[in-house]
């Protein structure tokens, strides 16, 4: 391989463009390296070091035969500095959903860029799009669309059952807030199943932090006889800060919802018991309902909750 081409590949971690090569070497160096099996075209004018193509399945597009991180860098190189990773690819970069093998790399580019979809590459053109904040940020060394827009863009691309997870996790991990997501939704005039998305954002804004809490909010813990619970209420016990799932402040009752896989470990159960005892020292009664009970017998759970709250309200 021509040493100038080799140096470019090393400098750019195995990805080069025709434009880069022509700045340091003649065009024939690309052709020679390709014929020798040292360089592989993955996108128009974009090449990778053949040594990095480990999947030899000829039925797959070349871009799908390289490691995801390399495919993304190749796609960005193809974008020529005008593109950002977006939608399902950006969601992966944000750490909220891993892209499975075979799922295309997604790029956003300005309208009029002239680039288009290619095998294993999904291109979207956006008016007034710029590779700069607030539309684009740098994460893991790559330009990606901002998180709030990424989450909304992915909503119609996911199966309905998978849609809430990334938004719930993003809010739980304090990467964004329900309020910022609502504001971003105002920038998207059309989106599939908008009503369900807005309902989810309303539940997140109310403090729900899991699918189980959302289900409980909708079917058990609202309506006649129920107080307005403070969700994820912050209380101090000595030097320790504890967050309560649903806190009825007047009655000093904390309702905790244990997920279907929660607390199977005896050590975790011991942690819960210690936490509950600590809250008891400041007069807070902890009531726990399992996933199984909440889903299988919501009417009885509601009755028990109302009875407990009524009993507590009779005592100062």
Model confidence over 30-68: pLDDT tens digits?
999 999 999 999 999 999 999 888 876 778 898 999 999
Structure confidence at residue 196 (pLDDT): 95
Tokens for 284, please give them.
């807070």
Q: Hey, CA dihedral for 117, 53, 100, 171, is it positive or negative?
A: negative
Q: What are phi and psi of 257, to 5 degrees?
A: -105, 115
- With 0-12 / 13-18 / 19 or more C-beta atoms within 10 angstroms meaning exposed / middle / buried, residue 187 is exposed
Element at 74 (helix H, strand E): helix 68-79
How many Å apart are CA 232 and CA 209, to the nearest integer?
A: 8
How many Å apart are CA 130 and CA 266, to the nearest integer?
A: 52
Q: Is 152:185 a contact under the CB 8 Å cutoff?
A: yes
Enumerate the domain spans of the chain: 3-52, 70-205, 211-313
How do strand 84-85 and strand 253-258 relate by DSSP bridges?
Answer: unpaired
How do strand 105-110 and strand 84-85 relate by DSSP bridges?
Answer: antiparallel
The series of mean pLDDT values per 10 residues for the chain, 316 residues long, is: 91 94 93 93 95 81 92 96 97 96 95 93 95 95 97 96 96 95 92 95 92 92 89 92 94 86 71 93 94 93 94 74
Structure confidence at residue 316 (pLDDT): 58
Looking at domain 211-313, its CATH class is alpha beta
Residues 6+ apart with CB under 8 A from 263: 269, 272
Outline where DSSP puts E strands in 39-141.
Answer: 39-43, 46-49, 84-85, 105-110, 121-126, 136-139
């Amino acid at each position: 391989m021509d040493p100038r081409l080799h140096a470019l590949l090393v400098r750019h971690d195995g990805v080069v463009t025709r434009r880069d090569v022509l700045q340091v070497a003649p065009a024939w160096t690309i052709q020679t390296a390709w014929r020798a099996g040292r360089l592989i075209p993955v996108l128009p004018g974009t090449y990778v070091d053949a040594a990095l193509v480990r999947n030899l399945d000829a039925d797959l597009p070349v871009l799908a035969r390289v490691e995801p991180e390399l495919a993304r860098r190749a796609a960005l190189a193809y974008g020529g500095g005008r593109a950002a990773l977006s939608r399902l690819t950006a969601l992966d970069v944000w750490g909220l959903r891993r892209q499975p093998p075979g799922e295309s790399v997604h790029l956003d580019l300005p309208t009029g860029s002239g680039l288009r979809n290619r095998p294993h590459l999904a291109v979207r053109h956006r008016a007034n799009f710029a590779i700069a904040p607030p539309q684009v940020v740098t994460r893991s060394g790559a330009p990606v669309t901002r998180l709030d827009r990424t989450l909304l863009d992915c909503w119609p691309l996911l199966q309905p059952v998978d849609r809430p997870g990334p938004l719930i996790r993003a809010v739980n991990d304090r990467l964004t807030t329900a309020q910022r997501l609502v504001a971003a939704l105002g920038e998207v005039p059309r989106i599939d199943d908008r009503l369900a998305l807005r309902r989810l954002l309303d539940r997140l804004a109310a403090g729900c932090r899991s699918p189980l809490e959302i289900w409980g909010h909708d079917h058990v813990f609202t309506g006649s006889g129920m107080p307005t619970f403070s969700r994820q209420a912050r209380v101090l016990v000595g030097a320790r800060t504890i967050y309560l799932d649903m806190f009825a402040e007047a009655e000093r009752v904390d309702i905790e919802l244990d997920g279907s896989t929660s607390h199977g470990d005896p050590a975790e159960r011991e942690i819960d018991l210690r936490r509950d005892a600590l809250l008891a020292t400041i007069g807070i009664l902890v009531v726990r309902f399992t996933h199984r009970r909440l889903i299988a017998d919501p009417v009885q759970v509601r009755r028990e909750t109302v009875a407990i709250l009524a009993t507590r309200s009779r005592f100062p």
